[in-house]
């Protein structure tokens, strides 16, 4: 999200190879104070660069463009980056099913009708408000965990109907998915009754928050490989490959001098 915008305002990026189409959509969006257009792009590669640099809440994305098409743009967004809401804006209706499968927020046909645009922006505003609330809750939980969490010498892991006491050194990484946090060892996966923020605070020695959903035991990393735009991929003993977010990559360099 672009932090120059007001707290309740969404930021938008317009991607279209036709300048006239970009101008028309910009004019239409200017009548909606809930969204601020922070950039434009005229092809797929430029769109990727702008998404990484501007971190918009919304991307109004054409499909047929030089270089990368709209679907290739979505697939090329690095997984560790926050993915913006995608609104396809195109002159063809034959891609609607593919857009649905790509989890797009909306599929608008040119010329865009103002009523349809207003409905899409209303849905987007609700989703963005929910995401901001969730991010703030995560920040507060992490803050409490940092100030209160005792050091953990053992981790209680649950598998089926039994509990196992795990030595933190045995754990390759913790991952959060679907409301559950799992501890992954060399041969097993256990559900643990902790939030990642609590674990990050209580297991400072050797553990690193590679991305929002993953806490990695750096002492068990087999290999570190350079990745997209100065980031890294951590190769683990269980063949998992964990991408470090761009922001966390800077902290990883501090933890491991010489990267």
Statement to judge: residues 123 and 161 lie in one domain: no
* 5 located within any domain: no
* 27 located within any domain: yes
pTM of the model: 0.54
Statement to judge: residues 20 and 91 lie in one domain: yes
Structural domains of the chain, count? 2
Statement to judge: residues 33 and 91 lie in one domain: yes
CA-based torsion, 190, 193, 195, 196: positive or negative: negative
Cα(58)–Cα(21) distance, integer angstroms: 17
Q: Spell out the residues 6+ positions from residue 58 whose beta carbon is closer than 8 angstroms to its own.
A: 10, 11, 12, 13, 35, 84, 85, 87, 105, 124
Print the domain residue range for 243: 155-255
Statement to judge: residues 45 and 112 lie in one domain: yes
* 196 located within any domain: yes
Q: Spell out the residues 6+ positions from residue 164 whose beta carbon is closer than 8 angstroms to its own.
A: 156, 157, 158, 190
Nearest CA among 160, 173, 178 for reference residue 199: 173
CATH code for the domain in which residue 118 is found: 3.40.50.2300
pLDDT digits (tens, 9 = 90+) for 222-253: 999 988 777 899 999 999 999 998 888 888 98
* 218 located within any domain: yes
Cα(87)–Cα(35) distance, integer angstroms: 13
* 146 located within any domain: no
* 148 located within any domain: no
Statement to judge: residues 106 and 29 lie in one domain: yes
Statement to judge: residues 123 and 159 lie in one domain: no
Per-residue pLDDT of the chain (259 residues; tens, 9 = 90+): 444 454 458 999 999 999 999 999 999 999 999 999 999 999 999 999 999 999 999 999 999 998 899 999 999 988 778 889 999 999 888 887 888 777 889 999 999 999 999 999 999 999 888 888 777 777 776 666 555 556 678 999 998 889 999 999 999 999 998 889 999 999 999 999 988 988 988 886 789 999 999 999 999 999 999 887 778 999 999 999 999 988 888 889 888 888 7
Statement to judge: residues 20 and 124 lie in one domain: yes
Statement to judge: residues 211 and 105 lie in one domain: no
């Amino acid at each position: 999200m672009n932090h120059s915008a007001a707290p309740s305002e969404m930021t938008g990026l317009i991607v279209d190879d036709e300048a006239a189409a970009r101008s028309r959509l910009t004019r239409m969006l200017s009548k909606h104070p809930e969204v601020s257009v922070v950039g434009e792009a005229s092809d797929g590669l430029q769109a990727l660069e702008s998404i990484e640099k501007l971190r918009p809440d919304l991307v109004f994305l054409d499909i047929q463009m030089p270089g990368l098409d709209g679907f290739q743009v979505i697939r090329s967004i690095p997984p560790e980056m926050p993915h913006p809401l995608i609104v396809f804006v195109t002159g063809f209706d034959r891609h609607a099913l593919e857009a649905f499968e790509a989890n797009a927020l909306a599929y608008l046909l040119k010329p865009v009708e103002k009523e349809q645009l207003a409905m899409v922006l209303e849905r987007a505003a609700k989703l963005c408000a929910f995401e901001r609330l969730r991010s703030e809750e995560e920040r507060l939980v992490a803050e409490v965990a940092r100030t209160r969490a005792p050091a953990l010498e053992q981790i209680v892991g649950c598998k089926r109907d039994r509990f196992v006491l795990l030595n933190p050194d045995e754990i390759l990484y913790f991952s959060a998915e679907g409301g559950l946090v799992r501890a992954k060892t060399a041969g097993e996966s256990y559900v643990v009754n902790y939030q990642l923020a609590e674990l990050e605070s209580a297991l400072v020695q050797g553990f690193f928050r590679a991305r929002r959903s993953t806490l990695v035991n750096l002492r068990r990393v087999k290999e570190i490989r350079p990745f997209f735009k100065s980031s890294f991929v951590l190769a683990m003993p269980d063949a998992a490959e964990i991408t470090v977010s761009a922001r966390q990559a800077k902290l990883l360099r501090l933890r491991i001098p010489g990267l």
